[in-house]
Amino acid sequence: MSEPIENLTKEELIDKLEIEAEQLHRSTKVNISMFSPLHNYLRSKSSIYYRWSVIPKINMIHLTIILGFIFSIVIVTVIQAIATIKGY
């Protein structure tokens, strides 16, 4: 848990605000520019989407989900090909 603002020194408060500003700046970026208007609209209208977009490692989470999805498609395709070849 973080300390209340009243208990922070000026330097600690500045560091805390800089970290929050950096998180907000990162949350406004999108990897595919055509989704930028939709991303900005959802951030302004949905508190759930906004909180999701400010998670520090969200791009790594998205990449992991996409790679897991692709890997599972490959595995299912291979299993179906083997079953077809063996005549199951």
pLDDT value of residue 11: 86
Coil, helix or strand for 31? coil
Answer yes or no: pTM beyond 0.85.
no
pLDDT for 9-30, tens place per residue? 888 888 888 887 877 776 667 7
* CB 39 within 8 Å of CB 30: yes
First-last CA distance in the chain:
56
What are the structural domain ranges in the chain? Answer: 1-55, 57-88
Mean pLDDT, residues 49-59 taken together: 84
* CB 55 within 8 Å of CB 64: no
Tell the residue number behind the tokens 């291979």, with chain if given: 78
pLDDT for 64-84, tens place per residue? 999 999 999 999 999 999 999
